[in-house]
């Protein structure tokens, strides 16, 4: 005898007249004048169960049911009476006339109603098991599963093989803090949890496996945001004997296939934009192309204005002055402008200058702003002409170090575009907006350390012909690196790798990594490159981010079964947690500042 013959959500009119055995949870129980209706729920959805009093034993059990009881129902499928069809659910044209009910396990009163959409995240994560029962979370995790399966099917069809790489490895510099694991056997030694399988997948290429992939956990001990977790899932891919363009074409096809086969979306064409253009126009290497506003470059015209807020950065190396034209923005109130001023301060901006364009024909007198008096006519004319300002527009300005301007005004652009004002005034286009960003710089200068550092990682190959620049002018050296962007989120990124030891030495020299340090940190990779390493490259997609975008969730925590909070805590299991002194002694560890018991 089967414990279950069908899923609740899959009971349809095709089963009318058939006996079914269902298992699930009581989503709701309703007593309608002697007839009891039960909405029975499982992972596939709900079905209505009708309990008539002409079966006294079954009916008595039904009277005692409460929300979240786990039960088994046996009955016959029949069509719902005319006028009671529920088109909102798959089983809405039928119901199950109950013959028998068995309570598999009762439930205490849940801490919240599963249909409550106003739960705090703390409540949801504390009671995550119940939160995961909600249809919203069930749909998200089922979609995550389907996305992973589509990825596997595509890669398998294209000759990729799934190979596991170690979770306990050595600490290597990859841009974020490592999670360290102390060794009990080797006193004073530590493993590191991988930030990515980068070095191992390159070794697999040298080993001749040609096409590798893995859907794997990665770990970074960094400050968290809504789109970050200390442990995250990566679709990690590497291939040999393919050019940069071939790699991009293949994995663009993969992502398009995944979207088409899981949510029925055609992503269309993927524009290609150089990094320098993305930064110039949007201040971001992952621009949201749905927002129809761009930067206006003003650094050159602000060098001789009296307004030191503008002329100071304009005359400093690495400074930048830009305007952001907000069509129709003159209708924004002073309080709204002040709120945006506070917003950009999050990104290091000292303030937010602005000009309201009331009447272009009136010249200077048609401009409303406390800064107009500090700008000469030529500067004002350049601002209005370059920005394409019209009557009723608002111009916001950013002036500081280029990074602060890009971060602050770039974030402001997105915030205004996504706001109710932006959507109402046509500044946001509701569509899927994919993009390849290419030609990243190889290096960026770290002022604190006083040296060049790798933008991606030190194994990224330079553009052909740029190898010699690494010694003479590292700042102009471009990389064979590429990021896939969707709706302002970085879906994935990668590069062609360095496969020749002589080029790798030049990169280390540019990064001020000496022979001894290179041997100590990357000796095993450098040794492997000597044995006829093939040209190779790849990329990695963030599975969590990918599914978040597809579901429209506000946070990646809504597509992960058991996520951490923004303080890297698990409210369900209370991790991290103290360990006892015996465990610490075995690991040769003594706490410098032990927590009080």
Residue-wise pLDDT tens digits, 554-577: 899 999 999 999 889 999 999 999
The model's pLDDT over 248-261, given as tens digits with 9 standing for 90+, comes to 999 999 999 999 99
Question: What's the pLDDT band for 522 if we cut at 50, 70, 90?
Answer: confident
Burial of 573 (0-12, 13-18, 19+ CB in 10 A): exposed
Give the mean model confidence (pLDDT) for residues 21-47: 95
Residue 273, number of CB atoms within 10 A of its CB: 19
**Residue 12: which residues within 8 A CB-CB, separation 6 or more?**
90, 91, 93, 94
Q: Where residue 123 falls among pLDDT bands split at 50, 70, 90?
A: very high
Q: Measured between alpha carbons, how far is 487 from 434 in angstroms, rounded to an integer?
A: 7
Check the annotation: does 225 bind a ligand. Answer: no
The proportion of the chain whose per-residue pLDDT surpasses 90, expressed as a percent, equals 81
Is pLDDT of 225 > 80? no
**Which residue shows structure tokens 């401009």?**
367
The residues that bridge with 575 in the sheet, in sequence order, are: 570
What's the CA dihedral at 372, 375, 377, 379 to 10 degrees? -120
pLDDT in tens, 348-366: 999 999 999 999 999 899 9
Residue in the structure block whose two tokens are 């170690």: 166
Work out the mean pLDDT of the chain and round it to a whole number. 93
Is the predicted pLDDT of residue 597 greater than 60, yes or no? no
Greater model confidence, 447 or 266: 266
Is 132 known to sit in a ligand binding site? no
Between 338 and 517, residue with greater pLDDT: 338
Q: Does 505 belong to an annotated binding site?
A: no
d(C-alpha 151, C-alpha 259), whole Å: 10
pLDDT at 596: 62
Q: Is 186 annotated as a binding residue?
A: no
Res 226: pLDDT = 65
Min mean pLDDT across 374-378, 388-392, 443-447, 571-575 is at 443-447
Mean pLDDT of 425-451: 91
According to the annotation, is 29 in a ligand binding site?
Answer: no
* Confidence band of 40 (pLDDT split at 50, 70, 90): very high
Is residue 168 part of an annotated ligand binding site? Answer: no
Mark out the alpha helices in 346-434 (DSSP H runs): 377-387, 402-418, 420-424
The DSSP element (H or E) to which 311 belongs, if any, is helix 308-314
State the average pLDDT over residues 570-590.
92
Residues in the chain: 597
In which element (H, E) is residue 297 found?
strand 295-297
Instruction: Please give the Cα distance from 283 to 323 (Å, whole number).
Output: 11
The reply, when asked if residue 220 is annotated as ligand binding, is yes
Rounded to the nearest 5°, which phi and psi values hold at 341? -60, -45
pLDDT of 452 > 90? The answer is: no
Question: For residues 320 and 398, is the Cβ–Cβ distance under 8 A?
Answer: yes
Please check if 229 is assigned to a binding site. Answer: yes
Do the annotations mark residue 146 as ligand-binding? no
Q: Residue 434's pLDDT band (boundaries 50, 70, 90)?
A: very high
Mean pLDDT lowest among 65-74, 109-118, 237-246: 109-118
In the prediction, which pLDDT does 201 show? Answer: 94
Could you tell me which residues come within 8 angstroms of residue 118 by beta carbon, excluding any fewer than 6 positions away? Answer: none
Residue 297 marked as a ligand binder:
no
pLDDT score, position 534 = 96
Surface-to-core class of residue 397, CB atoms within 10 Å of its CB (0-12 exposed, 13-18 middle, 19+ buried):
buried
Helix (H, G, I), strand (E, B) or coil at 47: strand
pLDDT mean over 334-345: 96
How many CA atoms within 13 Å lie on the side-chain side of 341?
12
pLDDT at 428 over 90: yes
133 marked as part of a ligand binding site: no
Q: Determine the average pLDDT of the residues in 464-475.
A: 86
Give the span between the Cα atoms of 597 and 41, in whole angstroms. 44
Residue 456 labelled as part of a binding site: yes
CA proximity to 212, closest of 548, 476, 539, 597: 539
Whether 225 and 232 have beta carbons less than 8 Å apart is answered as no
The structural domains of the chain, ordered by start, are 8-105 (2.40.50.140), 116-270+485-495+534-588 (3.30.930.10), 291-425 (3.30.1360.30), 441-478+500-531 (no CATH)
- Cα separation, 218 vs 232, whole angstroms: 5
**Average of pLDDT values for 302-308?**
93
What does the pLDDT look like over 165-209, one tens digit per residue? 999 998 876 567 899 999 999 998 999 999 999 889 999 999 999
**Position 525 confidence tier, pLDDT thresholds 50, 70, 90:** confident
Contact status, residue 239 vs residue 245, Cβ threshold 8 Å: no
| pLDDT higher than threshold 70 for residue 595 | no
User: Tens of pLDDT along 474-520?
Assistant: 889 999 999 999 999 999 999 999 998 888 888 888 888 888 888 88
Q: Is the pLDDT of residue 278 over 90?
A: yes
pLDDT for 174: 57
The candidate with the shortest Cα–Cα distance to 495, out of 453, 468, 460, is 460
pLDDT of residue 98: 97
Report residue 414 as tokens: 């997105």
């Amino acid at each position: 005898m089967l414990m279950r013959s069908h899923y609740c959500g899959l009971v349809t009119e095709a089963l009318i007249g058939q006996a079914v055995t269902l298992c699930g949870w009581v989503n709701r129980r309703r007593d309608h004048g002697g007839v009891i209706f039960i909405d029975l729920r499982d992972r596939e959805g709900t079905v209505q169960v009708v309990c008539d009093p002409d079966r006294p034993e079954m009916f008595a059990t039904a009277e005692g049911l409460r929300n979240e009881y786990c039960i088994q129902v046996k009955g016959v499928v029949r069509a719902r009476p005319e006028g009671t069809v529920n088109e909102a659910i798959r089983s809405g044209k039928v119901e199950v006339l109950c013959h028998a009910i068995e309570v598999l396990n009762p439930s205490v009163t849940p801490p919240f109603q599963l249909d409550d959409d106003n739960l705090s995240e703390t409540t949801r994560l504390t009671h995550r098991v119940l939160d995961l029962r909600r249809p919203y979370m069930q749909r998200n995790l089922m979609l995550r599963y389907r996305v992973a399966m589509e990825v596997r099917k595509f890669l398998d069809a294209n000759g990729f093989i799934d190979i596991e790489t170690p979770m306990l490895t050595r600490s290597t510099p990859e841009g974020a803090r490592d999670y360290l694991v102390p060794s009990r056997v080797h006193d004073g030694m530590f493993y590191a949890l991988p930030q990515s399988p980068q070095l191992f997948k390159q070794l697999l290429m040298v080993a001749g496996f040609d096409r590798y992939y893995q859907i794997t956990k990665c770990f970074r001990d960094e400050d968290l945001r809504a789109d970050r977790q200390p442990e995250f899932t990566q679709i990690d891919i590497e291939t040999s004997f393919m050019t940069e363009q071939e790699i991009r074409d293949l994995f663009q096809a993969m992502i398009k296939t995944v979207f088409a086969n899981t949510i029925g979306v055609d992503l269309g064409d993927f524009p290609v934009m150089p990094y320098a253009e993305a930064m110039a126009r949007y201040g971001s290497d992952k621009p949201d192309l749905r927002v129809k506003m761009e930067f206006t470059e003003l650094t050159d015209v602000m060098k001789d204005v009296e307004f030191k807020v503008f002329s100071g950065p304009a005359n400093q190396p690495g400074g930048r002055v830009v305007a952001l034209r907000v069509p129709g923005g003159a209708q924004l109130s002073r309080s709204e402008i002040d709120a945006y001023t506070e917003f950009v301060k999050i990104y290091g901006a000292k303030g937010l200058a602005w000009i309201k364009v009331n009447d272009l024909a009136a010249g200077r007198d048609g401009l409303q702003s406390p800064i107009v008096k500090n700008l000469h006519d030529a500067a004002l004319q350049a601002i209005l002409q370059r920005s394409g300002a019209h009557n009723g527009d608002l111009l916001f300005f950013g002036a500081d170090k280029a990074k602060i301007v890009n971060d602050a005004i770039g974030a402001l652009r997105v915030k205004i575009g996504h706001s109710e004002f932006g959507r109402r005034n046509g500044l946001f286009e509701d569509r899927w907006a994919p993009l390849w960003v290419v030609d990243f710089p190889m290096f960026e200068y770290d002022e604190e350390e006083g040296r060049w550092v790798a933008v991606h990682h030190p194994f990224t190959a330079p553009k052909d012909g740029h190898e010699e620049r690494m010694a003479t002018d590292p700042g102009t050296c471009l990389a064979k690196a590429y990021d896939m962007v969707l709706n302002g989120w970085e879906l994935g990124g990668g590069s062609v790798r360095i496969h020749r030891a002589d080029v790798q030495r030049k990169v280390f020299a540019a990064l001020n990594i000496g022979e001894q340090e290179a041997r100590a940190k990357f000796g095993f990779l450098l040794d492997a490159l000597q044995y006829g390493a093939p040209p190779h490259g790849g990329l990695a997609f963030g599975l969590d981010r990918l599914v978040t975008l597809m579901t429209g969730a506000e946070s990646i925590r809504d597509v992960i079964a058991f996520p951490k909070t923004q303080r890297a805590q698990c409210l369900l299991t209370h991790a991290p947690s103290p360990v006892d002194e015996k465990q610490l002694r075995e690991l040769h560890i003594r706490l410098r500042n032990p927590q009080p018991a």
